[in-house]
Amino acid sequence: MEEIIKEAPSIEEAVDEALEELGVQADAAQYEVLDRPAGGGARVRVWLKPDYPRESPVEPAEDEEDELPEELKQPAVEELPELTEEELDKIADTAVAAIQAILAAFGIEATIDEYEGDEGEIILDIVGGELAILIGRHGRTLDALQTLVAASTSRQIGRRFPVVVDVEGYRGRRREKLEDIARRTAERVGRQGRAVKLRPMTSYERRIVHMALRDDRKVVTASEGDEPFRSVVVSPK
């Protein structure tokens, strides 16, 4: 796949989604805006530059081909302590207060929805208004917000407990998108018999890719490189 057409709420988002599916960085591609619908959004065409190296094989490091990727060596969520409802409410209230303080600094008014995740973690979803500033490019601002709120909450309550900060369900949508990219990449690797290196991702994003493909019988995944440019490489078995 050397070009793709994408539609999204903005030109930047459309280009980002196309780059993700192509598995390249911005400097490896060009784009043109095809349409700007009257109701908002943008439709763009993104294609690889003529001099971009195509399908360069990526060899696994010696003695690391069967090693469990770093992101899978630890569970996504630590084993949770037994807490009372009152203790859980205190943790959630402390995290909400931290988020509200940050929103106030940005001059943002929003609602914070609270619910329990699949593994018992507390999920706080910020909803309402123009909140793209809290997500940032590839979710980098949201990751920083997550780190800040988690650190503040742990310090105030004197214990660690998984609190996930989200913005209008972005993490759930992001997870689905990454899983789709992982499956498409695995199919491509299976067809072509060559390794494909995905764009640099955060540890959270890399783990999603590893988990999505861990039971695939045709490919194996590994992480390579140094932060913040660490990437997942999908290789044929």
200 in a structural domain:
no
Residues 6+ apart with CB under 8 A from 146: 164, 165
For range 158-166, the mean pLDDT: 84
Residue 64 has pLDDT above 50, yes or no: no
Rounded to the nearest 10 degrees, the angle between the axes of helix 203-213 and helix 170-192 is 50
Q: What is the pLDDT of residue 81?
A: 60
| Residue at 156 is within a domain | yes
Return the CATH number at 109: 3.30.300.20
- pLDDT above 70: residue 80: no
Number of domains in the chain: 2
Same domain, 92 and 149: yes
In a domain, 103, yes or no: yes
Query: Which one is predicted more confidently, 102 or 36?
Result: 102
- Give the residue numbers spanning the domain of 147: 85-168
pLDDT of 93 over the 90 cut? yes
pLDDT at position 85 = 83
What is the per-residue pLDDT for 12? 72
- Nearest of 148, 147, 140, 170 to residue 102 by alpha carbon: 148
Mean pLDDT, rounded, for 125-151: 84
Same domain, 163 and 93: yes
DSSP H helices, 35-116, are 85-106
**pLDDT tier at 173, thresholds 50, 70, 90:** confident
Rounded to whole angstroms, the Cα distance separating 114 from 96 reads 9
Distance from C-alpha of 46 to C-alpha of 6, rounded to nearest angstrom: 8
What pLDDT was estimated at residue 32?
86
- Domain membership of residue 192 (yes or no) is no
Claim to verify: residue 102 and residue 158 sit in the same structural domain: yes
Does some domain include residue 11?
Answer: yes
Asked whether residue 158 carries a pLDDT value surpassing 80, the answer given is: yes
- Among residues 124, 153, 168, the one where a domain terminates is 168
**Is residue 150 domain-resident?**
yes
The residue among 168, 192, 218 that closes a domain is 168
Work out the average pLDDT over 222-229.
Answer: 82
- For residue 192, the one-letter residue type is Q
Q: Are residues 43 and 95 in the same domain?
A: no
Q: What is the average per-residue pLDDT within 170-197?
A: 88
Tell whether 34 and 95 lie within a shared domain. Answer: no
Q: What is the pLDDT of residue 62?
A: 37
**Straight-line distance from the first to the last Cα atom of the chain, in angstroms, rounded to the nearest whole number:** 22
Alpha helix ranges (H) inside 131-169: 140-157
pLDDT-derived band at 11 (thresholds 50, 70, 90) equals confident
In a domain? residue 202: no
Mean pLDDT of the chain: 79
Q: In this predicted structure, what is the pLDDT of residue 116?
A: 83
Residue 223, pLDDT > 50, answer yes
pLDDT greater than 70 at residue 26: no
44 plus 89 within the same structural domain: no
- Greatest mean pLDDT among 36-40, 42-46, 111-115, 171-175 lies in 111-115
User: Does 204 have pLDDT greater than 90?
Assistant: no
- Mean pLDDT to the nearest integer, 182-204: 87
Q: Is residue 138 in a domain?
A: yes
Residue 213 is predicted with a pLDDT of: 92
Give the least confident one: 72-81, 100-109, 116-125.
72-81
